[in-house]
Structure 1
Amino acid sequence: MTLSRRALAAGIGGVALAAGLGATGIAAAGEGRGRAGRRPQTRTIRYQGSAGVVTPLELAATLGYLADVRLEWIGNSTSGPQDIQATVTGDTDIGGAFNGAIIRLVAAGAPITSLFGYYGIDAKVWSGYYVRTDSPVRTVRDLAGRTVGANTLGGQAEDVLRMRLRSAGLGQDVAQSAQIVVVPPVSAEQALRSGQLDVAVLGGVLRDTALRRGGIRPVFNDYQVLGTFTCGCQVMRNDFIHDNPDTVRTVVAGVARAIAWSQTRPVRQVIDRFERIVRARKRTEDAAALQFWKGYGIARRGGVITPRELSVWLDRLSDSGIVDRRDAPLDRLYTNRFNPYPGVA
C-alpha cells in the first residue's frame, strides 16, 4: 500500500494511520532470492541537500568513498520531516531527519529503516533556548505556556523542550502548554528581539552572532539535556534496501568512512574541503556559514547508531501518548548491519 503525502504529514504529527500499513522487513535483504532473476541494482542515489551545507553523503562522494555509486541531487530539503517524507513517497532514495520524527513516521506505517547517524550535539555543536535579557522567564519551569520559535513542528527542538519541562517536574499537560511557533532559523533572532516570540532556539553561527550582539540570555541548551548524542539518522525505504543491498552497503560504508574522516581531521582541513565542494556544485548558495563549522556532532565513529539514540525519543513519545511503542519497536527502527565500524546491539 502506498502512503500518501497527507497521511505522512499526519504520521509525523503523531496521528496513527489505519491498521494494515505495516513496514516491510529488511532481514532478508540480499537473502532469500538467488542472483539469478534479480534485476540489476541501481547505482544512482537520489537525494536532497541543504543550501550552504555539505552533508556526510556529499562529503563521501567527493572523497571517492562511494565507488561507482552516483549521487543525483534533486533539490534542497525544507526540513528533516519533509526530507524523509520524500524518501517514503519514492521521490528520493535517502533522507535524513531528527530521530523522533523518524519514529513518528515509522509508527504511522512508513516502511523505512535508519542506517547511520548524520548529525548530533556535543560540547561544541549544540542549540540553546534563548530569551531577551529583560524577559520574566528565569527558569525552565517558566517556559510553560510560552511561545518558542523552532524550525519545524515535531522536530528535535520541540521534543527536547518537552523532555526538559517534564524533567523539571511539570506534568504532561503543563509541559505541552509551551507553544512551538515555526520560524525559519535565520528569522528566529529578530522575532525574539521584536517580541513576537518569548523564546528562540538558536544554534551554530546564528547563536554565536546573536550572542555577540547582546541582549539575550540562555535558559538551557540541548547539550545539557543529552550530552554528546547523535540526534538524527539517514533512512532508506525497506524495499529499496531489499532490492539494492550491495548499493546500500557501498553507500553506508562510504558515508561511515567520510564521517570518520571528518571526526579525525583538523576542523580547518574539513572546512577547506567543504568550501571546494560548494564552489564546485555551483548551486548559487552562500557558503559563509561554513567558516563557523565545528563538527557534525555525531557521537560514534562512522555514524554507528546506538539504541539509546532512538529509545530516548520513543520513550518520550510513548509516555506522551503520541506514539504506541508497539507500532515502532526499537529493533525495527534501525540497523548497523551495513556499517563497517563496530556495531552496537
Structure 2
Amino acid sequence: MKSVIRRIAALSALGWAALVPPSSAAAPEQTVLRYQASSVGQIAYAELADALGYLAPLKLERVGVQAGGPGGLQLTATGQTEFAQSFNGSIINAVAAGARLKAVAAYMSTSKENAVGAWVLENSQVRGARDLIGKKVGVNTLGALWDASVEEYLKRGGLNEQERKQVTLIVLPAANIEQALRQGQIDLALLSAGFQVQAEQRGGIRKLFDDHQLYGDVNLASIVFSADYVEKNPETLRHFVGAVGKAIEWLRAHPRDEAVAVYKQYLETHGQGSAVNGLQYWQGQSVATPGGVILNEDFARWEAWQQARAGARAKPVDIKAIYTNAFNPYTGKVAQK
C-alpha cells in the first residue's frame, strides 16, 4: 500500500509539474512551521502538500488541534504558531483589533457538494428565519463563518436587529452539536463535513439552509501568517504557498479514494491516527480559485459584517492590506475585479 501511494504521489507530481509555474530556488529562511491540525474532518492542504512531497525542505510541527478559527488566529498573531486557517471575516476582525496578520492563500470555498448545513429536527416547527426568534442555535465558535451565516440568513429572512438579537448562539464542540439538537438543547444545528454526513445518515433531521445557498461558489477562508513572519521569511512563504497551491490542484484533479488513501497514510504516520475514521465520511472539498489565489472580494464581502459587529468601535480596515498573492505562482491565472 505504501509503495502504491508513493507511486501515486510521484506520478502526480510529474503530471502537474508542467502546469505549475517554477518556484524560487532560494533556500527558505525558516524550515519548521508550527500549526494546529484541523478539527472539522477536512483534508488540510499543508498536510497534503507534505504527504505528496511538495513541502520539503519545509517541515510541519503540529502543536494541538484548532478548535476554532479566531483562537487559531490569536496563536499565530502571538507567535505560538507560524500559520493558522480561518474564516475571512474572522481575519478582518482580528486585524481590526490590532493583530498584524497576512492571509497568503485561500484554503476553503463553499459548493453544492461541500456546504455547511443548518439543520432542525424533522418535526420542528422552525420553517424559516422568523421561526428562529427566541430559539437557540448551536455553532462551533463565535465571530466565525457559522456565526456570520446565521446572521445572513436572518437578515435575508427580514428580521431586524432587535429580532436577530433574540436568536441565541450556543457554542459547542463540533462533535457535540448533533447530539445537542437531538436532545432538545438547541433548536438549530450547524454541521459540516463528516459530522453532517453522519447526522443525515441517521435521519430524523431536516435542512433549513446551507452556506452555498447564501453565498454561492466563493472562497470563505484563508491560510494566515503573522505579518512580521511574512516580512522576514519571504522564501519560506514562497515555497510554502507554492506547495499548498500544488496540493489544491492535485486534490481538484484526483478521485476521492486516491486522496483519502494518501491522506490516511499521512495521518497514521504523523501521530493523527484518531482522525482517520472521519475520512470515511469525507465527500470532497474545494477552493474556488486556482492554487488558492485570494480575490479582493473574498474579504470585501465581510467588511460590512465586521463593522456591524464592532459598532461604534469599528475602525476602518484596508482590505487589500490584509492579504497578499505575492508568493503564489498561480496569481497570473486569475483576473482580479
TM-score by structure 1 length?
A: 0.84
SS class of match (1:219)? strand
Which of 176, 179, 192 does residue 181 from structure 2 map onto? 192
CA distance in 1, matches of 2:95, 2:319: 11
Q: Are 1:246 and 2:235 matched, yes or no?
A: yes
Displacement after TM superposition at 1:145 (Å): 2.8
Q: Which of residues 202, 208, 221 is equivalent to 1:232?
A: 221
Out of 33, 39, 45, the position equivalent to 1:45 is 33
User: C-alpha root-mean-square deviation of aligned residues, in Å?
Assistant: 2.0
Matches within 5 A, 1:198-277: 198-277=187-266
Q: CA deviation at 1:180?
A: 0.8
By how many angstroms is 1:329 displaced?
Answer: 1.5
| In 2, Cα distance between equivalents of 1:94 and 1:258 | 17
Shift of 1:252: 0.6
The amino acid that maps onto 1:44 is V
Report if the CA contact (8 A) 2:101-2:226 is conserved: yes
The answer to which of 86-95 and 59-68 deviates more is 59-68
Residue number in structure 1 paired with 2:307: 318
CA distance in 2, matches of 1:300, 1:266: 19
Q: Which of 68, 74, 83 is the equivalent residue of 1:79?
A: 68
Match in the other structure for 2:104: 115
State whether structure 2 residue 83 is matched by structure 1 residue 94: yes
Match of 1:283 in 2: 272
**CA displacement 1:251-295 (0-9 Å, x = unmatched):** 011101111111111111111111111111133413112122222
| Structure 2 residue aligned with 1:127 | 116
Distance in 2 separating the partners of 1:198 and 1:282 = 36
Name stretches of at least 5 consecutive residues in structure 1 with no aligned partner.
1-34
Does residue 335 (structure 1) correspond to residue 324 (structure 2)? The answer is yes
Q: Which of 279, 296, 308 is residue 307 of structure 1 equivalent to?
A: 296
* Residues 113 and 238 in structure 1, CA contact (< 8 A), matched pair in contact too: yes
- The answer to whether the 8 Å contact 1:148/1:198 transfers is yes
Structure 1 residue 240: Cα displacement: 0.7
- The 1-side partners of 2:247 and 2:262 are apart by 12
Can you list the C-alpha shifts for 1:74-104, whole angstroms capped at 9, x where unaligned?
2222221111111001001111111111110
Out of 128, 151, 165, the position equivalent to 1:139 is 128
Residue 11 of structure 2 is matched in structure 1 by none
Runs of at least 5 residues in structure 2 that lack an aligned partner in the other structure = 1-25
Q: CA deviation at 1:215?
A: 1.7
**Preserved contact between residue 60 and residue 66 of structure 1 (Cα < 8 Å):** yes
CA distance in 1, matches of 2:312, 2:237: 29
How far apart in 2 are the matches of 1:196 and 1:68? Answer: 48
- Farther off after superposition, 324-333 or 188-197: 324-333
Between the aligned partners of 2:124 and 2:289, the Cα distance in structure 1 is 38
Local SS of the residue matching 1:285: helix
Q: CA 1:82–1:228 in structure 2 vs 1: closer, same or farther (change >3 Å)?
A: same
Amino acid in the other structure paired with 2:169: I
The SS at the match of 2:220 is strand
Alignment partner of 2:158 out of 151, 155, 169: 169
Change (3 A) 1:145 1:297: farther
| Cα distance in structure 2, aligned partners of 1:77 and 1:320 | 23
Deviations, residues 55-82 of structure 1 (Å, cap 9, x unaligned): 1011111212123222222222222111
1 CA distance for matches of 2:191 and 2:105? 25
Question: What CA deviation, in whole Å up to 9, does each residue of 1:198-257 have, x standing for no partner?
Answer: 111122222222222222111111110011122111111111111110111110111011
Question: What residue number does 1:55 align with?
Answer: 44
Q: Is the 8 A contact 1:131 1:216 kept in 2?
A: yes
Larger helix fraction of residues: 2
Distance 2:242 2:71 in 1: 25
Structure 1's 56 and 118: CA in aligned 2 closer, same or farther, altered over 3 A? same
SS in structure 1 of the partner of residue 190 of structure 2:
strand
Preserved CA contact (<8 Å) 1:54 1:278 = no
Tell me the equivalent position of 2:22. Answer: none
Count residues with an aligned counterpart.
307
* Aligned-partner residue type, residue 49 of structure 1: A
Contact 1:140 1:220 in 2 (8 A): no
